[in-house]
Amino acid sequence: MTAPAERMKMMRDRRRRQGLRELRLIVPDGRSRAVRDRIAVQVAKLDPQGERDALLWIEAVSEFDSDESR
């Protein structure tokens, strides 16, 4: 059997031939108390009216399925 590093290289090569590219994301760990506290502070600073306006705009420009379109 091939070594794990060689299998990964083969998989990446196969995906490249398919027009795909590996993408790695590093994101904050939502399980961390420090991260949750930092998010809570940021959320508390949000302007409720500004957020409401943003949501209304998103709804206005988004397409949703509705009973009327059927």
User: Rg of the chain over CA atoms, in angstroms?
Assistant: 22
Tell me what pLDDT residue 45 has: 97
Domain regions of the chain by residue span? 29-62
Per-residue pLDDT band for 66 (boundaries 50, 70, 90) equals low
pLDDT tens digits, one per residue of 17-45: 999 988 999 999 999 999 999 999 999 99
- pLDDT band (50, 70, 90) for residue 54: very high
pLDDT at 70 over 50: no
